[in-house]
């Protein structure tokens, strides 16, 4: 179970819709982590735990390791995820990467 509070700041959210996952009602949305500004990363995505972000991406790796992280140039890193939030218990499931 992942903490949905992580998606409340520094995340672009689009394509919100009501869905069902494994028979449970959910809200689904496309989530894109945003790059912050300045030294304090103002307005950017900040994972609750930087070693295991809900939206693993170049943005989250900048927070964890800084611009010297060798994985930042990895073209396999996603830029968006489809996230499902259970509407009864408000928990997130592991979000799939979007192509």
What's the whole-number average pLDDT of the chain?
83
Looking at residue 12, its pLDDT comes to 95
Beta bridge partner(s), residue 84: 28
Contact assessment for residue 63 and residue 41, using Cβ atoms and an 8 Å cutoff: yes
Q: Which of 11, 10, 29 is nearest to 19 (CA)?
A: 29
Residues of the chain with pLDDT under 70: 1-2, 39-40, 90-99
Q: What are phi and psi of 94, to 5 degrees?
A: -60, 115
Indicate the pTM of the whole model. 0.80
Contact assessment for residue 28 and residue 83, using Cβ atoms and an 8 Å cutoff: yes
Which residues contact residue 56 at a Cβ distance below 8 angstroms, ignoring those fewer than 6 apart?
Answer: 77, 78
């Amino acid at each position: 179970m992942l903490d949905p509070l992580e998606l409340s700041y520094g995340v672009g959210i689009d394509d919100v819709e009501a869905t069902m996952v494994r028979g449970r009602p959910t809200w689904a949305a496309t989530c894109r982590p945003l790059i912050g500004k300045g030294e304090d990363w103002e307005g950017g995505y900040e994972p609750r735990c930087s070693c295991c972000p809900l939206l693993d991406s170049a943005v989250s790796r900048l927070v964890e390791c800084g611009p010297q992280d060798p994985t930042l140039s990895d073209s396999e890193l996603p830029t968006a995820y489809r996230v499902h939030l259970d509407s009864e218990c408000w928990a997130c499931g592991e979000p799939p990467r979007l192509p």
